[in-house]
Amino acid sequence: MSLTFSVVTPSYNQGQFIERTIQSVLTQSGVAIEYTICDGGSTDETVNILKRYKDRLRWVSEPDDGQADAVNKGVAMTHGDIIAWLNSDDIYYPNALAKVATVFEANPALDIVYGEADWIGKNDEVLKAFPTEPWRYNRLKEACFLCQPAVFFKRSVVDRYGGLDKTLQYCMDYELWLRFGQHTDFYFLPEKLAGSRMYASNKTMGQALVAHGEINHMLEAKLGVIPANWLLGYALVKVEKTYGISRYDRNQTHRFVRLLVQFSCQELMAHNPLAFFKIAPKMIFWFLVPDRAWFRREDILALV
């Protein structure tokens, strides 16, 4: 069968990156693509860039209700078999869509395919591989191991289970994966497909505490309880953002650990008291032997 990809890019004032995003889509080979960009009324150079590509993609620039609303709008404007959502500062790697198409064509019953990705910097340099994992739904509740630009899903999945929740500003992708995963398995393609850009002023990093808080509220509403991993991660970010103490500052290790244990206990007792009793001995270790404790977020969460 011959598949068409509907690539949707939500955009707002990302003129410094969006042309690289566009080129990464338009240079894909071996697949049919309809490309739509839903811009939220950018005031930078974005619209001028979009005008240069008017013969190769469809675009609108008008006020919207945020990123999720823009993606939903783009999905409604398109008709392809496979939906691909690529933010205006992210990129596809060469032949990514062709690799995904091969998997869908060989396995017609599949609904969703995801691959590996990198975190990239402002100049497209690879910072680190995204910590992608093989598919396990219960594990997805504990950690969002899917990199959003490397996830591709059939339009029929949206028709059955709905699009993005536009009340969410930060974790709309994670909520969507959890919702879809209740009904269908995801297929893991162990190949690098995309680069997700990380820099100090981007939405996730620049507002990490608010983003983490939204994730926790979403998980509590959806699952009835916030997994311990997310509560510890929130406590870690809270120490850094509230007190301005870096987890890597060896001169403030004792204070950092004391605050981390304090906030972790507060969050666990408030939202997941059963997990508190499981994790308390490990937090005692952090407190008693702070110089041997590990403070990278992924390492702390691995203790749970």
Q: Where are the alpha helices (DSSP H) in the chain?
A: 18-26, 46-52, 67-77, 96-106, 137-142, 155-161, 172-181, 203-206, 208-223, 228-243, 253-271, 273-288, 297-302
Which pLDDT does position 251 carry in this prediction? Answer: 82
Cα angle 106, 180, 208 (rounded to 5 degrees) comes to: 115
- Together in a domain, 38 and 142: yes
- Which residue, of 199, 225, 251, is where some domain finishes? 199
pLDDT 10s digits, 116-174: 999 999 999 999 999 999 999 999 999 999 999 999 999 999 999 999 999 999 999 99
Q: Given 3-state DSSP classes, what are the helix, strand and coil percentages for the chain, each rounded to the nearest 5? A: 50, 20, 35
- Together in a domain, 20 and 80: yes
CB 118 within 8 A of CB 195: yes
pLDDT 10s digits, 38-63: 999 999 999 999 999 999 999 999 99
- Together in a domain, 78 and 181: yes
Residue 290 banded pLDDT, cuts 50, 70, 90: low
- Together in a domain, 155 and 271: no
**What average pLDDT score do residues 253-275 get?**
91
- Together in a domain, 184 and 281: no
pLDDT 10s digits, 78-107: 999 999 999 999 999 999 999 999 999 999
- Together in a domain, 167 and 272: no
Cα angle 227, 228, 231 (rounded to 5 degrees) comes to: 95
CB 38 within 8 A of CB 75: no
Residues near 250 by beta carbon (within 8 Å), at least 6 away in sequence: none
Domain range for 292: 207-302
Token couple for 11:
């955009």
- Together in a domain, 286 and 169: no
Token couple for 226:
């916030």
pLDDT 10s digits, 182-213: 999 999 999 999 999 998 766 666 688 999 99
- Together in a domain, 113 and 148: yes
- Together in a domain, 122 and 223: no
CB 87 within 8 A of CB 17: no
Residues near 30 by beta carbon (within 8 Å), at least 6 away in sequence: 95, 97, 98, 101
The distance of Cα 103 from the centroid of its chain, to the nearest Å, equals 22
- Together in a domain, 64 and 163: yes
- Together in a domain, 242 and 158: no
- Together in a domain, 110 and 249: no
C-alpha to C-alpha distance for 138 and 145, rounded to whole angstroms: 12
Average pLDDT of the residues of the chain: 92
- Which residue, of 169, 199, 229, is where some domain finishes? 199
Pairing outcome for strands 91-92 and 186-197 = antiparallel
Scanning the structure block, which residue is given the tokens 């093989």? Answer: 134
Which pLDDT does position 73 carry in this prediction? Answer: 98
- Which residue, of 199, 226, 260, is where some domain finishes? 199
Query: Which amino acid does the sequence have at 83?
Result: I
Structural domain count, the chain: 2
Centre a 10 Å sphere on the Cβ of residue 107 and count the other Cβ atoms it contains. 11
**CATH assignment at residue 170:** 3.90.550.10
Asked if the model's pLDDT at residue 247 lies above 70, the reply is yes
Which pLDDT does position 256 carry in this prediction? Answer: 86
